[in-house]
Chains A and B, each alone.
Chain A
Amino acid sequence: MEQIYSNTERRDDERHVPGEPAFWIFIVGEMAMFGFMYLVFLCYRFWTPENLLIFEAGQRTLSQFYGALNTVLLLTSSWFIVLGLKAARKGNASEGKVFVKLTFMCGLGFVFVKVFEYAEKIQSGYLLNTDAFYQIYYMYTILHLMHVLAGLTALIYLIKNCFKDDCRDPNNVAIIEGVASFWHLVDLLWIGLFTLIYLMV
């Protein structure tokens, strides 16, 4: 049978596809979907002068501080998971586990900030059906939040199963690489959302 997973015994300078090659169908698909969503956001924002006013007014009500805080949390978490992956490749299971736990904590922090932000918006009377901007804001960020929750579930799986004595095993490293790639995707998608929704005022 064709080898599915990557091999840790390759030379350090050898390039390879992280995780399982077929997994990248999912990653590229997600990027295409969010790319289309960004395009739809831009089209709606600039379509008519009325829409532009609605979107600008809506964007001014958002807190750039929360957006920036979440960006820092996700970027930091991405750095931690890279360190965790490096530790796993070296066979240092306990160190790797600590870094993945730190990644998880940052992800959890993102969820708390987001829930707090939603609660604040709902209390101020900005709901899903307030206007076109808030329709898009809630739907896009909820969809992204679902990705974060899926990523956190995958991180729990890593913490429980992938940082044991045999963590250098090629199949094990491939699983960690896959989850790390997904976590980077979550981070990348958030940077797109942060730029479009929070910063483009």
Chain B
Amino acid sequence: MIYQPDPVRTYLNERTYSYLSAYGGYAFAAGSFIVFFFVGRMVPPPDPGWSSVELAQFYTENQTRILAAGVGGLLVSWLYMPLYSLVSEILEKHYDAPLAAKVQLFGAIMGEVFVYLMFMFITFAAYRPERDPEITQMLNDCAWFFAWWTVSTVQIQTVAIFVVIIKSKEEIFPRWFGWFMVWATTGACLGCFVPLFKSGPLAYDGELTFWFMVPLYGLYCICCSAASVKALRNIDERIGIVDKSVDTDFDRETSVSN
């Protein structure tokens, strides 16, 4: 007899892990915020118009905290993956959309790699800032360009999620999440133009890129977490898991008889 996994039992086996994964987005957004703002103080990022000597000086003066931010970044970046693996799982198992689930997961993996590379290159640049300043400048540019390339991976994810949610009449993920995804795709378009400019609002430290898109990315992670938690609660309701905090008729009757 061919073994066929029971989807409800599979879900129940991983239910706690699913909830922890769903909260991963909050942890990733909060962790990255702390690492960037408080540990590395890389806000705003170094001006792309700086000369290589100015940039090398910046890395020399702030070496310790930038290295600490690099380490912190590597510690919080992994929180990204369980959340988007969960999103893919829901798309595949509860929306019957295996292709979109894989596309979404592929985008998430690419995004994760770019986030890691950004933290790695910041660490490389700060590790030996006494080297040839032009090499430090190149490492710094690599770090920020990898950061901006997450834009295209996020767009892959958002389009896949949007199409599945909006096409379906099932409401597992809330529908607002689908429309938020398409807005995130549009907003992310601004980041595609970063390589063209070294100054102005569209350079990588610009108002329309750094100051608009970094909060947008934070909001995106938070919304993904919130929508995933809501989706898990909807699945719980469907398979009949009642929240223990809800006082049911049965509970009341037993407490009276006792």
Contacts and interface: CB of A to CB of B under 8 A. Distances in A.
Chain B binds chain A: yes
Interface of A: 1-2, 4, 20, 22-26, 29-30, 33, 36-37, 40, 43-44, 128-129, 132, 135-136, 139, 143, 146-147
Contacts, number: 61
Interface of B: 169, 171, 174-176, 178-180, 182-183, 186-187, 189-190, 193, 196-197, 199-202, 207-208, 212
A23 B179 contact: yes
Given A129-B196, A132-B200, A135-B200, A29 B180 contact: yes
Contacts of A132: 199-200
B44 to A, nearest CB: 15
A25 B197 contact: no
* For the complex of A and B, 10 pairs with smallest distance between CB atoms: A29-B183, A22-B175, A22-B176, A26-B179, A25-B179, A26-B183, A40-B207, A135-B200, A25-B176, A40-B201
Task: Specify the main secondary structure of chain B where it touches its partner.
Answer: helix
A25 B183 contact: yes
A143 B202 CA distance: 13
B215 to A, nearest CB: 10
A147 B171 CA distance: 28
Given A36-B212, A40-B208, A25 B180 contact: yes
Contacts of A1: 169, 171
11 contacts: A4-B171, A22-B176, A22-B179, A26-B180, A29-B183, A33-B212, A43-B207, A129-B197, A139-B190, A143-B190, A146-B189
